[in-house]
Structure 1
Amino acid sequence: MKKTDYETNKLEDALKFTPEKLGCSEFKKDYNLKFAYLTGGMYKGIASKEMVVKMGKAGMMGFFGTGGLELSQIKEAIEYFQKELSPEQTYGLNFLHNMNNPEGEEKMIDLFLSYGVKNIEAAAFISITPALVKYRAKGLKRDSQGNVIGVNRIIAKVSRGEVAEVFLNSAPERILNKLLAEKKITWEEADLLKVIPMADDICVEADSAGHTDGGVAYTLMSSIIKLRDEIMEKYKYHKKVRIGAAGGIGTPAAVAASFVMGADFITTGSINQCTVEAATSNSVKNLLQKINVQDTEYAPAGDMFEIGAKVQVVKKGIFFPARANKLYELYRKHNSLDEIDEKIKDQIQEKFFKRSFEEVYEEIKSFYPLQEIEKAERNPKHKMALIFRWYFGYTTGLALNGTEECKVDYQVHCGPALGAFNQWVKGTSLENWQERHVDEIAVKLMNGAATLLNQYYKDYI
């Protein structure tokens, strides 16, 4: 039967998408957000204090990039958020897994707890750690219906199903027992932890900047949504664990596709590094605003160098990816610096490091723990790893400081989403990064996604 004009108009109104309607309403209510849109934390405070405040004031949430910062710098940022944002406006802090320093993780969590930080983005975790469980435990209680509720929310950023699974499950028994023995949680907190998942929300990170498994959003989203549904059914959690999308989001079409695939929220990353608010050098931003989708490449991750983990970085006009991969290849093939060909060693010291291995080693002695240096003295391969890892911190610093004479060695984490964004805004006021602001970009992307969805579904009415 043919629809009347009245019925068609009514259906069109019902299907009318707006930016405010996109995403999960419960997610937006829980975090007090206008839009289901987050900006992810970027290392060394590139996701800056100013970026987080901009997002909070615009009715969204940004995560401050705590990785690689001192506790005093993180403390200063928290105090800034609590001064600049009202209690109704939301902010979060990135919590980056530190596999070599569990004590450092706990100190950061203690800082969060002391300042009442309610939202953290757990990133680069492959398993649950005691620090995460401690954070989750504090503030848990039962509501009038007997359901366990908490005040400390964890959004887990994952790129693999097995990692999503550990966050969808409750806290591991062995960690509960450890924390109980150390009197860091109470018996009541341990009991409450047993009936809730470790994460309130899961952010599925497809091919992206920084640490990445190069996953494909179409397959990752569907598989992890299915996994969530299975675990929800198994444990009968009273509250739904929401699934968000990240990685590759740089255009309205990508935003729309994420929500169509079932995302409850989205998180952007690379596109925010090329904005006024990003705390990186103008030199890097000038470089970033010109890249296209094919101008990134995978390189070893400095913090997980020995295990071969990868990060995605800019390659256009940059030697860093090739040089970093060369260092990993040499580490994999040799057991000490002495085994490497003399010509190659000279090239590394003169071209890559611009100083001798001995000078690098003397420098790293000042910031590595004593046990690491003692291990290096006993194990030549470990010493080689520490010296090679120095290059990754060095190249990050060059980029952050905008050292023009060393531009070819910049390490700039970036995914192809920024290339797509650059093409989308070409010829508009946003072509120049000096006109790019994180909150305005977010609104334009959400508006554009809503428009696309309205156009698409109108054809099917």
Structure 2
Amino acid sequence: MVTTYGEHDVEEAMSHFRLEMDAGISLVGVLPGIYPEWLGSRRFTDSCGCRFPYVVGEMARGISSVQMVVASVRAGFVAFFGSGGLRPHIVADAIDEITQAVGSDTAWGANLIHSPDRPDRESAMVDLFLRKGVRRVSASAFMGLSKDLVRYAAKGLSRDANGNVVRQNHVFAKISRAEVAEPFMRPPPAGLLRELVAAGEISHEEAEIQATLPVAEFVTVESDSGGHTDNRPLASLFPVIADLRERIVQKHNYRRPIQLGAAGGLGTPAGVASAFGLGADYVLVGSANQSAVESGLSEVGRAMLCEAGIADVTMAPASDMFELGVKVQVLKRGTMFAVKAQRLYDLFRRHETIDAFSSKDREWLEKQVLREGFETAWSKIVEYRRKSDPTFAVATDKTPRQKMAQVFRYFLFMGSQWAREGIEDRRADFQIWCGPAMGAFNDWVQDSFLEPAENRTVEQIGLNLLEGAAHVTRAQQLGNLGMRVPQHLWAYRPQPLCLGYAASVQ
């Protein structure tokens, strides 16, 4: 027989061993208990100051809200505020709220989304993070390093009395390709560091230290997720990135390891357990948390997510990289957003100007999509953009195709805005970023206390996924030892958990 015990149950184990021997029972082995806190890396929880190796991922435009971040930190998780796509003053207010609630030196950060069309936005956001003392950023949608991202990583680097590096700012790089991961794992180019020093952005000492360190010491391997995604399976992608990590760490002889996280498709305990089984130091969960009561998504939007199945997602053109043909994964059930967005992109590819549209396409655009005239929509965009970029209207008036693209992007942008605000009249146009993990989560919580939307708190979602992953991991261990594990031991049903629980899975 195999008996399992907690870490500190040595006396109990020995007592049972003697009783079993006296009864003529052969003891095969003794397994220590499994705690959800131990599923990933102790390095991660120690370095981040959190209890669990679990990250509540950033969901742009405040869907990962202030309330979600605060609740997550108090639950023992790491959390990122969804600052992507929000104006700096809104992000500044959110940072102040979070700091007031849980302090500045706790396990939270904010999203830094790459803005190739507006590098000034990226620079302004880094300025804000440095000024407000945001110690962690989750860098997403980057195809390569940017000057401002390197500036953030290098700022504040120093050495203690023993010569050990003290890093003030931590980059969590979210990647889905090896060629994108590699620059984050290496020291930044020497020329870029010299440029930052010459501009007075960082000191000589900071540049010297950063030249020996990776830009990101936390790299999140993102598979089939909501929003920007390459739809790659985690089981194929993670080992490739892990091998790359090992080669780079050995080549540069880093004194501190690069920690790898797993994200995308994690909506069930088995999914979370499999990510840890691949060697992840931490897991990051997004889509399932979007349905939590603390989410910045509207109540009607969250209700739509709670009805989603694993196949109720699709790819649609992205508003931030529309002209490049980049797509995001969104909810399909209950909304026509993806269909309309794709038709807009097809029209954009075929025509150089709105005047080349057929009367049928023009009528569809103005009556069913914009619900106003093209020029009226354009005037609204000009008015909005003039506030932040005085040259916008003049430059774009000279390029009819760019003008068309901006109007189409306006609709895509508003699709997510309507979803956050819960505008019922625009329900068919909701853009809700969502991956297949949402459907898997809904299937798992069916007929449990977590099925109703009102019971889905970010704390209960996270604790149950972790507790369930510990159960699955224990069943796998027993199976690997040659035990015949009953099928029901592989299943874990959601149950209300409190933060005081500390019992190991036996």
Same fold (TM over 0.5): yes
Q: Tell me which residue corresponds to 2:454.
A: 434
Q: Determine the structure 2 residue equivalent to 1:200.
A: 217
**Residue of structure 2 in register with 1:43 after alignment:** 60
Q: Deviations over 1:10-67 (max 9, x none)?
A: 84423x3220111011111000111100011111101000100111111111100001
Match of 2:488 in 1: none
Which of 164, 169, 192 in structure 2 is aligned with 1:152?
Answer: 169
| Mapped pair 1:415 → 2:435 | yes
Structure 2: distance between partners of 1:89 and 1:34: 11
Measure, in 2, the Cα distance between the counterparts of 1:355 and 1:418: 34
Of the structure 1 ranges 274-283 and 139-148, higher mean CA displacement relative to structure 2 is found in: 139-148
1:375 paired with 2:400, answer no
Equivalent AA in structure 2 for residue 403 of structure 1: I
Structure number with greater Rg is 2
| Distance of 1:160 and 1:213 partners within structure 2 | 8
The Cα of 1:147 is off from its aligned counterpart by: 3.8
Distance in 2 between residues matched to 1:434 and 1:454, nearest whole Å: 31
Equivalent-residue separation in structure 1 for 2:217 and 2:383 (angstroms): 40
Once residues 388 and 460 of structure 1 are traced to their aligned partners in structure 2, the CA distance between those partners, rounded to angstroms, is 54
Secondary structure of the residue that 1:95 maps to in structure 2? strand
Question: In structure 2, what is the Cα distance between the partners aligned to 1:10 and 1:181?
Answer: 66
For 2:277 and 2:28, the matched residues in 1 are separated by: 22
CA distance, structure 2, for counterparts of residue 296 and residue 149 of structure 1: 43
**Cα distance in 2 for residues equivalent to 1:372 and 1:58:** 45
Q: 1:246: how far off?
A: 0.4
CA distance in structure 2 between the partners assigned to 1:10 and 1:154 by the alignment: 46
Q: Hey, what's the Cα distance between the residues in 2 that align with 1:372 and 1:86?
A: 39
The aligned residue for residue 315 of structure 2 is: 298
Aligned partners of 1:205 and 1:246 also within 8 Å? yes
SS for the counterpart of 1:227 is: helix
How far off is 1:431 after superposition?
0.7
Long gaps (5+) in structure 2: 4-16, 482-506
| Superposed CA offset, 1:381-426 (max 9, x none) | 1111111111112211211111112211111111110100001001
Distance, in Å, in 1 between the alignment partners of 2:121 and 2:166 is: 27
The reply on whether 1:64 has 2:81 as its aligned counterpart is: yes
In structure 1, the residue matched to 2:119 is 102
Counterpart-to-counterpart distance in 2, 1:9 and 1:372: 76
- How far has the Cα of 1:376 moved from its partner? 2.1
Range that drifts further, 419-428 or 133-142:
133-142
How far off its partner does 1:86 sit? 4.6
Once the two structures are superposed, what CA deviation does each residue of 1:115-137 show, in whole Å capped at 9, x if it has no partner?
22111111111111111111111
1:212 corresponds to:
229
2:179 maps to 162
Partner of 2:426: 406
Q: Given the alignment of the two structures, is residue 445 of structure 1 paired with residue 465 of structure 2, yes or no? A: yes
> Which residue does the alignment assign to 1:247?
264
1:96-129: CA deviations, max 9, x gaps?
1111222222221122112221111111111111
Contact 1:37/1:266 (8 A) holds in 2: yes
> How many angstroms apart in 2 are the aligned matches of 1:83 and 1:399?
28
Against the structure 1 CA distance between its residues 8 and 189, is the aligned structure 2 distance closer, same or farther, given a 3 Å change threshold? farther
Q: How many residue pairs align between the two structures? A: 459
Is the 8 Å Cα contact of residues 375 and 382 (structure 1) preserved in structure 2?
Answer: no
Q: In structure 2, how many angstroms separate the alpha carbons of the residues matched to 1:400 and 1:30?
A: 34
Contact kept? 1:299, 1:311, Cα under 8 Å: yes
**Among candidates 128, 136, 161, match of residue 145 of structure 2:** 128
Report what 1:26 is aligned to: 43
Between Structure 1 and Structure 2, the one with more helix by share is 1
Question: Root-mean-square deviation (CA), in Å?
Answer: 1.9
Normalising by structure 1, report the TM-score.
0.96
Among all aligned residue pairs of Structure 1 and Structure 2, give the percentage whose two residues are the same amino acid.
36
CA distance, structure 1, for counterparts of residue 274 and residue 41 of structure 2: 15
Residue equivalent to 1:269: 286
How far apart in 2 are the matches of 1:104 and 1:180?
Answer: 21
1:13 to 23, 28, 31: 31
Deviation string 1:422-451 (CA, Å, 9 cap, x unpaired) is: 010010111111110001110100000000
Give, in angstroms, the shift of residue 375 of structure 1: 2.8
SS of alignment partner, residue 321 of structure 1: helix
CA distance in 1, matches of 2:294, 2:408: 32
Give the secondary-structure state (helix, strand or coil) at the position aligned to 1:178: helix
